[in-house]
Amino acid sequence: NKLTSKMGIKDNLRRAFFELHDLGKYMDNVEYWSHGVETRRANAFSNYKIGQEQKLRKK
């Protein structure tokens, strides 16, 4: 899909929204975007924690 490929969204992040929302309305969908932001934040935080653990192990 052109719209979602331009946004760089992985399939597993948008799969839950296929039945609920029309692809053309993704741009206006606050629930969809907030879900993506929450997912990215969770990933970033877990990566940060893993990095901190690895730093401590090296010392």
Q: How far apart are CA 40 and CA 46, in angstroms?
A: 10
* Confidence (pLDDT) at 36: 79
Supply the mean pLDDT for the chain.
73
* Confidence (pLDDT) at 58: 81
What is the number of domains present in the chain? 1
Query: Is the overall model pTM greater than 0.85, yes or no?
Result: no
Q: Is residue 57 part of a domain?
A: no
Q: Is residue 58 part of a domain?
A: no
pLDDT at 54 over 60: yes
Between 48 and 30, residue with greater pLDDT: 48
* Confidence (pLDDT) at 33: 76
Average pLDDT over residues 2-10: 62
Q: How far apart are CA 22 and CA 26, in angstroms?
A: 7
Q: Print the domain residue range for 45.
A: 2-52
Q: How far apart are CA 59 and CA 18, in angstroms?
A: 47
